[in-house]
Amino acid sequence: MRYLVIALPLLLAACATPGTDSGNVSITTATNGQQFGDASCVVTTRSGSWNIITPATLPLGRSDGDLRIVCQKPGYRTSELILPPYSSASGSSVGFGAGGGSGNVGMGVGFSFPLSGGAGYYPSPIVVNMNPL
């Protein structure tokens, strides 16, 4: 029990450490799993709009609402992709519990809460699938 008390703060600190993310978003285009370039795309967030030619990398930083990407290329249908931001700690949680009992009888109480680092990031890399006409 003494070792658990010593190790618990270290384990919780490791779980609560946020992942690092550069905020750079790589965008490519593909059809049938084969990547190709030279598609003209408009990337939009609440912060602004960028015109790119794929493949490209944008330094978007922290998320600011949904990420919208609209790509066009001659011979392909226009493709639109809307992605919500995600938190680098999304899905993580820390659980605390206490239990007691003797022999084969036991009982326990526990709870958990999600860890959130505030603003999230956009996923990267992003592949926009485009279908030929």
**Over the stretch 49-62, which tens digit does the pLDDT of each residue have?**
999 999 999 998 88
- Domain count of the fold of the chain: 1
Phi, psi of 41 (to 5 degrees): -125, 150
Dump pLDDT digits (tens) for 32-45: 999 999 999 999 99
For residue 42, give the CATH number of its domain: 2.60.40.1120
β 40-45/48-53 pair status: antiparallel
**Residue-range definition of the domain harbouring residue 37:** 22-88+121-133
Task: Answer yes or no: is 31 within a domain.
Answer: yes
pLDDT band at residue 86 under the 50/70/90 scheme: confident
Does pLDDT of 14 surpass 90?
no
- Joined together, the tokens standing for residue 105 give 């009888």
pLDDT for res 102:
52
* Residue 93 in this model has a pLDDT that exceeds 60: no
Q: Other CB atoms closer than 10 Å to residue 65's CB: what's the count? A: 11
Q: Does residue 125 have a cis bond before it (omega within 30 degrees)?
A: yes
In this prediction, residues 88-115 reach a mean pLDDT of 46
Band (pLDDT 50/70/90 cuts) for residue 106 is very low
Q: Is the pLDDT of residue 18 over 90?
A: no
Q: Are 7 and 14 in contact (CB under 8 A)?
A: no
Confidence of residue 21 (pLDDT cuts 50, 70, 90): low
Whether residue 62 lies inside any domain: the answer is yes
Is residue 41 domain-resident? yes
Phi-psi domain of 21 (left: phi exceeds 0; alpha: psi -120 through 50; beta: other): beta
